Amino acid sequence: MTSPPAQPVVSVDHVVKVYKSTCAVDRISFALPPGSVTALLGGNGAGKTTTIAMIMGLVTPTEGAVTVLGASMPQRRYQVLHRMNFESPYVDMPKRLTVRQNLAVFAALYGVADVDERISELTHDLNLGEFLDRPNGRLSSGEKTRVSLAKALLNRPELLLLDEPTASLDPDTADWVRARLERYRHERGATLLLASHNMPEVERLCDRVIMMKRGRIEDDDTPGRLLARYDRQTLEDVFLDVARGRAEDREAAQ
């Protein structure tokens, strides 16, 4: 006898989001199984950020349902927010607080049991030691990203949402961040959803890619199957095919 399929960590069901007269997300559906790493890909205005914001409960869908860890969003968000977290280079941590102060505040907000011990663990894992007592505003981009990642991992989230986690980082630091994310996923069995424009990052981290264009899901598959289907060597070429409508042109020509 086989066990029933695990309940999805995130379920997006026929979701529509309309801002005034603009349809940002147009009837999309997908589900993220536990432990999966999924990328949302798409050009500017494709609807990735709005989709992630609806999953976080920051934006209310116009139609459809978003369920996270069994709770419908945004109505029942407070039942699950302590089990998820997010990281984005576009959301800052307070600049005049030290790294330690920032982490202590967020640890308390997330209900972390032993704050000092958890900060110590993260300091060790993410090499924060040399700037732990420095104000956040005096950190380099790479250091800020590490702090932001530490904040995102404080509560050992089951669901981690990442918005371009390695944007504006040098290749070495970006690689370092990806390695930490991979390790966290394996250790915790966490589910990751990331929006990224960095195709090598997506190929390395993700076992599934959802390609969006003008608010719709254009394709949804594993990186390997997408490469095969579009007959391309890299996800970047697949991305360009979808973004520029070359796949449709090719189908029409055939």
Q: Count residues binding another protein (CB under 8 A).
A: 53
Q: Of 17 and 223, which has the nearer Cβ to another protein?
A: 17
Instruction: Read off the amino acid at residue 61.
Output: P
Give the burial class of 35: count Cβ atoms within 10 A of its Cβ; 0-12 exposed, 13-18 middle, 19 or more buried: middle
Question: Cβ 140 to another protein, closest distance in Å?
Answer: 18
105 belongs to the binding site for another protein (CB under 8 A): yes
The binding track of 107-136 with respect to another protein, each residue x by CB under 8 A or -, is -xxxx-----------------------x-
Residue among 78 and 249 whose Cβ is closer to another protein: 78
Burial state string for 36-58 with b = 16 or more CB within 10 A and e = fewer than 16:
bbbbbbbbeebbbbbbbbbbbbe
The b-or-e profile of 210-241 (16+ CB within 10 A means b, else e) is: bbbbebebbbbeebeebbeebebeebeebbbb
140 part of the interface to another protein, by CB under 8 A: no
**Interface with another protein (CB under 8 A):** 6-9, 17, 19, 24, 34-35, 49-50, 53, 56-60, 69-71, 74, 76, 78-86, 88, 90-98, 101, 104-106, 108-111, 135, 151, 158, 189
